[in-house]
């Protein structure tokens, strides 16, 4: 239309270009004023050339190249006609746009006589990778429709989003004034006519883009080659034994890279379908200072996915990421050599079942020693019903490193952070499963920090949580094991929860540790029917506090369960303070606890119990210790407001081989405030209530060790025995 000329390499003199003329490689095409050219390139692309433009067609390594010398062009590529891995490039003096089935507009903007070239690239459908000729090895900038970027000299600018009005104006000078020849579309195979027509409509229409149909059978073997509607990232790699697309390593087109972009994706970002197998040697996603909004999951695996890279599979540096899950396994298998997610100063918001969700016989294996999920700064917001880690339905996760680490991150949720139900978690890391430094960790409502249930098992070498200088806040039970769920800690000295510094309010309406069983049998020592389920198996203690301050309702609750301990359940040092608003250690019904050492150990620290007992043994429970019950050292203070140190009721039995209290280091204080009447048995004030008599209590030996190293409030009951069948023995060895 108008005056269009072509200069062939063999005959460089310009000649008029007419309808149906063929164009060849190295042809130079020019348009005059008020002229427009539309070219069909290799039956796979429609190229529109604006007036006063000039370009040359070349080929390099089998890829088609449109070298834009000046002016403006638009190209729509029908990807079905392209070979696997093939691309079409638009090149200007200082920019390269790699196209794999999308709609792109490119223009040169260099003012006359300017020494620095300026180009601009716009993507209207799908996405492209933009680089500069001066930096051929640099990572490309991923430009997702509808957006635009300006390249000045060797510098790629910040991508900007194109609204409908801007897109329409952009295409206004690329529309023909006369009807286009239908022969152009007819030249395509029948299966390509609809796609090519749609590409042409994007160029000649109103610029809204996104109208290109996607054939459900037309799923690219390489997700980076997939053609998708506007804002839709590539998904669904085809199964291949050697990797995505059958290419060795399976890394062609990956990772997806976004820098200073706004990306909206309606569905899952990347999906491995059922009965398919993908093996990658690269990571999946890198986002820098971008806003990524994903309607589904970042990664969903229904088949099998493996990655051999040591890089984080998903990395977010600055910006935001919103999705349902970071990774969801649905009867899928994933194997990682590195971490799954690394985020630095980013805001993450997840609304699905979990940050990492495994269901329906899924398998996760991570062989790297780094945390599977690592956050530095920024925030993690988990929506209603969203966990950090959820394993269920016979799924299994095997980790060589911790699951989660965060430094200076604000974490908030309202569901269990780690939930294992009818599933198995195995972690060989010597450190805790969750490691927090600074920041906040806030769980609202009925959320637990960690829960195992329905025969679920968490087998750990380290503990569950290690927090340093972190403000931890929760309402309900923090560590919950129920319905045959089990926490197994193989590390000989690893406590379940370790807190260093920080001020926290944990389980304000529950227990920091709540162990619930169901099966019972008669204990051969006490003769009581007690729990046989063992929800926690550990060689370390439960709560270890170093300089931390914690307020809770109860610290430990055991109900119809067995606990065999070898370390203090509560171990405080370095100026730590624990305040409970109920019983600190509470055996509520048919519980059995044995410990070779003390249950409570304080070193230059403080415990305050409001309206309860330090240790309450009730409902036909049995407590036994091979040493002292309580150790206080180096100026520690134990305060009981309106309660006692030890309460025994409901036909329960307590056997203490050592002392009730052992002091060391000097300056220790025991304050007990109550109005219970008492009698002295073995030198200890004991309140006998509910039909209990003195013969129910036997206190011999030395019940208070090193009494000169501590002070006990005089004339207050230290122990309460309630009920005719409740019994206490302190041997004082």
Q: Report cis status (omega within 30 of 0) of the bond before 685.
A: no
Q: Map residue 164 onto helix, strand or coil.
A: helix
* Residue 607 pLDDT level (bands cut at 50, 70, 90): very high
Three-state SS annotation for 421-436: ECCEEEECCCCCCEEE
Which residue is it, tokens 């829960």? 451
* Residue 146 pLDDT level (bands cut at 50, 70, 90): confident
pLDDT tens, 423-440? 999 999 999 999 999 999
- CA distances from residue 690 to 83, 684, 687 in whole angstroms, order as listed: 87, 19, 10
CA distance 59 to 57: 7
More confident residue, 125 or 20: 125
Q: Does the pLDDT value for residue 234 go beyond 60?
A: no
* Residue 253 pLDDT level (bands cut at 50, 70, 90): low
Instruction: Give the mean pLDDT of 252-260.
Output: 78
Return the closest-CA partner of residue 583 out of 563, 558, 548, 610. 610
Structure tokens at 186: 């007819």
Which residue is it, tokens 């991150």? 409
In the chain, the percentage of residues whose pLDDT exceeds 70 is: 88
Bridge-based pairing state of the strands 727-730 and 653-656: parallel
**Residue-level pLDDT at 681:** 97
Instruction: Give the mean pLDDT of 618-645.
Output: 98
Q: What proportions of the chain, in percent to the nearest 5, are helix, strand and coil?
A: 5, 45, 50
User: Rounded to a whole number, what is the distance in angstroms from the first to the last CA of the chain?
Assistant: 107
More confident residue, 61 or 256: 256
* Residue 278 pLDDT level (bands cut at 50, 70, 90): confident
Please provide the average confidence, as pLDDT, over all residues in the chain.
87
**Residue-level pLDDT at 19:** 75
* CB of 110 closer than 8 Å to CB of 93: yes
Residue 246 has a CB neighbour count (10 Å cut-off) of: 16
* Residue 204 pLDDT level (bands cut at 50, 70, 90): very low
Instruction: Give the mean pLDDT of 342-349.
Output: 98
Chain centre distance of CA 432: 16
Who contacts 409 (Cβ-Cβ below 8 Å, separation ≥6)? 375, 376, 377, 378, 379, 380, 436, 438, 439, 440
DSSP H/E element including 504: strand 503-505
pLDDT tens, 513-569? 999 999 999 999 999 999 999 999 998 899 999 999 999 999 999 999 999 999 999
In the chain, the percentage of residues whose pLDDT exceeds 90 is: 67
More confident residue, 127 or 302: 302
pLDDT tens, 347-375? 999 999 999 999 999 999 999 999 999 99
Instruction: Give the mean pLDDT of 629-638.
Output: 98
Instruction: Give the mean pLDDT of 665-677.
Output: 97
Q: Does the pLDDT value for residue 733 go beyond 90?
A: yes
**Residue-level pLDDT at 211:** 33
More confident residue, 68 or 59: 68
More confident residue, 448 or 177: 448
More confident residue, 516 or 177: 516
**Residue-level pLDDT at 169:** 83
* CB of 670 closer than 8 Å to CB of 701: no
DSSP H/E element including 531: strand 529-531
* Residue 135 pLDDT level (bands cut at 50, 70, 90): confident
Q: Does the pLDDT value for residue 587 go beyond 90?
A: yes
* Residue 239 pLDDT level (bands cut at 50, 70, 90): very low
**Residue-level pLDDT at 112:** 64
* CB of 131 closer than 8 Å to CB of 143: no
Q: Does the pLDDT value for residue 249 go beyond 50?
A: no
Q: Map residue 354 onto helix, strand or coil.
A: strand
Instruction: Give the mean pLDDT of 61-73.
Output: 88
- Where does residue 211 rank: exposed (0-12), middle (13-18), buried (19+ CB within 10 A)? middle
**Residue-level pLDDT at 174:** 82
* CB of 403 closer than 8 Å to CB of 372: yes
Instruction: Give the mean pLDDT of 614-624.
Output: 98
- CA distances from residue 32 to 1, 3, 537, 605 in whole angstroms, order as listed: 10, 5, 83, 87
**Residue-level pLDDT at 44:** 76
CA distance 320 to 349: 8
Q: What is the DSSP string of 10-71?
A: SS-S-EE--TT----TT-EEEE-TT--EEEEETTTEEEEE-TT-EEEEEEETTEEEEEEEES
Who contacts 137 (Cβ-Cβ below 8 Å, separation ≥6)? none
22 HSE (CA, 13 A, CB side): 4
CA distance 283 to 428: 24
- The pTM is what? 0.72
Q: What is the DSSP string of 234-252?
A: P--PPP-TTSGGG-GGG-T
**Residue-level pLDDT at 59:** 84
Q: Does the pLDDT value for residue 124 go beyond 90?
A: no
Instruction: Give the mean pLDDT of 385-412.
Output: 97
> For residues 264-292, b (16+ Cβ closer than 10 Å) or e, as one string?
bbeebbbbbbeebbbbbbbbbbbbbbbbb
Q: Does the pLDDT value for residue 187 go beyond 50?
A: no
Q: Of 32-41, 88-97, 352-361, 478-487, which gets the smallest average pLDDT?
A: 32-41
pLDDT tens, 313-324? 999 999 999 999
Q: Of 264-268, 391-395, 630-634, which gets the smallest average pLDDT?
A: 264-268
Residue 135 has a CB neighbour count (10 Å cut-off) of: 12
Return the closest-CA partner of residue 528 out of 595, 624, 626. 624
Going through 268-317 in order, the beta strands assigned E by DSSP cover: 270-272, 277-280, 285-288, 291-294, 299-301, 304-307, 314-317
Three-state SS annotation for 458-489: EEECCCCEEEECCEEEECCCCEEECCCCEEEE
Who contacts 61 (Cβ-Cβ below 8 Å, separation ≥6)? none
* Beta partners for residue 594, in sequence order: 564, 624
């Amino acid at each position: 239309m108008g005056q269009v000329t072509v200069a062939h390499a063999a005959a460089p003199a310009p000649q008029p270009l007419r309808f149906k003329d063929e164009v060849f490689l190295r042809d130079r095409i020019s348009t005059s004023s008020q002229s427009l050219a539309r070219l069909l390139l290799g039956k796979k692309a429609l190229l529109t050339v604006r007036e006063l433009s000039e370009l040359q067609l070349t080929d390099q390594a089998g890829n088609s190249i449109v070298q834009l010398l000046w002016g403006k062009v638009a190209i729509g590529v029908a990807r079905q006609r392209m070979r696997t891995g093939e691309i079409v490039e638009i090149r200007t003096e200082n920019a390269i746009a790699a196209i794999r089935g999308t709609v792109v507009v490119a223009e040169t903007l260099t003012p006359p006589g300017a020494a620095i070239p300026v180009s601009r690239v716009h993507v209207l459908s799908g996405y492209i990778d933009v680089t500069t000729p001066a930096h051929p090895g640099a990572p490309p900038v991923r430009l997702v429709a509808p957006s635009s970027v300006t390249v000045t000299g060797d510098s790629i600018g910040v991508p900007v989003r194109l609204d409908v009005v801007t897109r329409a104006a952009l295409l206004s000078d690329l529309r023909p004034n006369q009807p286009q020849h239908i022969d152009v579309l007819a030249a395509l195979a029948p299966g390509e006519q609809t796609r090519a027509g749609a590409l042409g409509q994007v160029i000649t229409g109103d610029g809204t883009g996104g109208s290109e149909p996607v054939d459900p059978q037309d799923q690219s073997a390489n997700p980076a080659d997939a053609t998708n509607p506007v804002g839709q990232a590539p998904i669904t790699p085809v199964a291949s034994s050697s990797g995505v697309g059958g290419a060795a390593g399976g890394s062609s087109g990956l990772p997806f890279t976004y820098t200073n972009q706004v990306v909206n994706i309606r569905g899952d970002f990347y999906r491995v379908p059922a009965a398919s197998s993908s093996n990658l040697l690269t990571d999946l996603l890198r986002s820098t200072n971008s806003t990524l909004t994903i309607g589904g999951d970042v990664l969903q695996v229904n088949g099998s996915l493996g990655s051999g890279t040591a890089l984080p599979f998903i990395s977010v540096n600055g910006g935001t990421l919103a999705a349902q899950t970071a990774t969801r396994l649905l009867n899928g298998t994933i194997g990682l050599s590195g971490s799954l997610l690394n985020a630095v100063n980013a805001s993450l918001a997840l609304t699905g079942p979990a940050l990492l969700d495994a269901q329906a016989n899924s398998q996760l294996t991570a062989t790297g020693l780094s945390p599977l999920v690592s956050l530095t700064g920024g925030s993690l917001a988990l929506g209603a019903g969203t966990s950090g880690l959820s394993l269920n339905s016979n799924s299994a996760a095997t980790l060589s490193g911790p699951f989660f680490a965060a430094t200076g991150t604000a974490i908030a949720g309202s569901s269990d952070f780690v939930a294992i139900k009818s599933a198995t978690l195995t972690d060989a890391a010597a450190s805790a499963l969750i490691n927090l430094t600074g920041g906040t960790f806030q769980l609202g409502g009925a959320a637990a920090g960690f829960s195992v249930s329905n025969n679920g098992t968490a087998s750990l070498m380290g503990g569950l949580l290690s927090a340093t200088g972190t403000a931890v806040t929760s309402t309900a039970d923090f560590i919950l094991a129920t319905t045959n769920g089990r926490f197994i800690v193989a590390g000989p000295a690893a406590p379940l929860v370790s807190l260093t510094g920080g001020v926290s309010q944990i389980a304000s309406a529950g227990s920091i540790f709540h162990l619930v069983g169901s099966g019972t049998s008669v204990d051969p020592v006490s003769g009581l029917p007690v729990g046989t389920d063992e929800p926690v198996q550990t060689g370390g203690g439960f709560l270890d506090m170093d300089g931390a301050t914690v307020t809770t309702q109860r610290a430990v609750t055991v109900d119809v369960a067995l606990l065999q301990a070898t370390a203090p359940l509560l171990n405080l040092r370095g100026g730590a303070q624990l305040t409970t608003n109920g019983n600190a250690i509470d055996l509520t019904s048919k519980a059995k606890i044995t410990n070779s050492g003390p249950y409570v150990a304080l070193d230059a620290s403080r415990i305050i119990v409001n309206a309860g007992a330090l240790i309450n043994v009730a409902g036909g429970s049995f407590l036994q210790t091979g040493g002292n019950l309580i150790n206080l050292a180096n100026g520690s203070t134990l305060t009981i407001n309106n309660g006692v140190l030890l309460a025994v009721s409901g036909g329960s039995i307590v056997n203490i081989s050592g002392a009730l209290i052992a002091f060391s280091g000097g300056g220790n204080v025991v304050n007990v405030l109550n109005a219970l009447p008492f009698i002295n048995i073995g030198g200890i004030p004991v309140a006998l209530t509910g039909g209990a008599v003195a013969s129910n209590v036997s206190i011999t030996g030395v019940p208070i060790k090193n009494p000169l190293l501590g002070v006990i409030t005089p004339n207050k009951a230290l122990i309460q025995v309630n009920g005719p069948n409740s019994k206490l023995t302190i041997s004082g060895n």
